[in-house]
A and B are shown apart, each in its own frame.
Chain A
Amino acid sequence: MPIFSSVGKYSILMGRVFSRPEKFRVYPQLIIREMDKIGLQSVGIVSLLVLFMGAVVAIQTASNIESGWIPRWTIGYTTRQSIILEFSSTVVCLIISGKVGSNIASEIGTMRISDQIDALDIMGINSASYLILPKIIAAVFIIPFLVLLAMFVGVAGGASIAILSGNVSFADFEYGAQYDFRIWDVAYSVIKTLFFAFIMTSVSSYHGYNTHGGALEVGQSSTRAVVYSIVIILVADFLLTQLLLL
């Protein structure tokens, strides 16, 4: 079964990534550079995404509770819950996977096919750890902040768009958005994010690191990196939801 051999190869690679690193002194700089690439450079797309998600959920909820026996503040409540529980973590991580995953896989894949990884290994540097560890650490550290930002932008910004466009009134939103707020929901989302961040960086790095051939294969690796990251994140989301919410 190819899946078992892939899981095996992935585990061996992760073993090398987390074995004793070369020289601790060079890592902080590498991690900061990755945080910029993975985190700061995704702020724009993430904000844009949740802004419209928030607005759409608010408007959809508004149009679905025309009937009258459901209170209007449900609009604020539903928007907040969907943003905090699912959109800010899972959907945002899926989007980041698309951007960061292809970026990581093509960067590492190009290094592989042009012998740069062999060059590191020959120098006596653990290439897996040197190239992949900073990305994983950076992502696991910075993506939760992106998610917190997404929660805020999604609820506040989404509401503003829905209100300013005249689809929902401020009063409808305000009470619901504060109703029965539990900090655990935020924690739940952030915990999930830690897993997602690890998955997207490690899976994409794996596909890049195991590229063979030329430019064509780099393209294929980067597509595979995104597809696998997304599928695994969705499965993990399902499992984590069972585990954390029950």
Chain B
Amino acid sequence: MSEAVLDIQSLRKTVHKGKNIVEDVSFKMHKGEILGLLGPNGAGKTTTIRMIVGLIKRSSGSVSINGTDMDEDSQTCKRQIGAIVENPAFYDYMSGWKNLQQHARMAIDPVSDERMQDIIKLVQLEDAIHDKVKKYSLGMKQRLGVAQALLHQPSILILDEPTNGLDPKGIRELRDYLRELADQGISTLVSSHLLSEMQLMCDRVVIMEKGRLIDETVIGELDQSDEQKVCIVAFQCRVDQIQEAKALIEADSEIELLHIEKEQTLVLKLHEATIPDVNKKFVEAGIDIYAIERKKTTLEEKFLSLTNTRNMTDIKEVQS
């Protein structure tokens, strides 16, 4: 493993009445890595990010960027960071272009107009860039936020819920772009409460709940051991064949039938590698399958069991 570009050691934030809203959070991010910070609402993701970028003081703990301690030389550290914290906000009485210019001027290394054009093209705001930000939609603002964070060519990107307000196409583009940046050696810390998204976007995920880190998962490792990977898949058949299908599954000890939805969908827990076999089995038995849908993945299950929250069930939707 290469040297950590971002090294967070035992971060803690104590608010009034001695309550710790972030406690003992430590993690490292490596060069070219996309690291997910996952947690339900109120877990302390934004608070952690605010402490990293210096918007709020750390009650204790340290942050170092490329080996430089934030307390010793915050200017050097901040030069290397590009960030969106919570919703990106802009001067809505100015155009997108003028907003970016404000940031371009603040960059220590000069930002050329060409660079601005490139970035704008990348986030696909060419058509609207000279309109007042007032007229932008949420997704357009999010794109402008990404452009702004990238403008000064930081080596570390910190994005707090960047997919908020983006349409599936926008999310995919962001994902592809972050991957491209990662290949160029730029590391990204991205927070989200949507696991499915994290899984597609990140190399590794750290999971937070109630201010603490509760787990760390390398997504790539999971993908490599596909044989072992257990997942939950829904097979939809006809109502009149459901009993037949059920009997077929119950005969197989490898597969666990979790429940039946709407009298026509079998929700199964099985090894990922066996999905085609199960399908074949249905077909051979003359059972017509209308849809196969992957429900939760193991990481999702893990996340759910760890964080134990109900409001995470919206996860399955965004599988763009």
A, B in one complex:
no
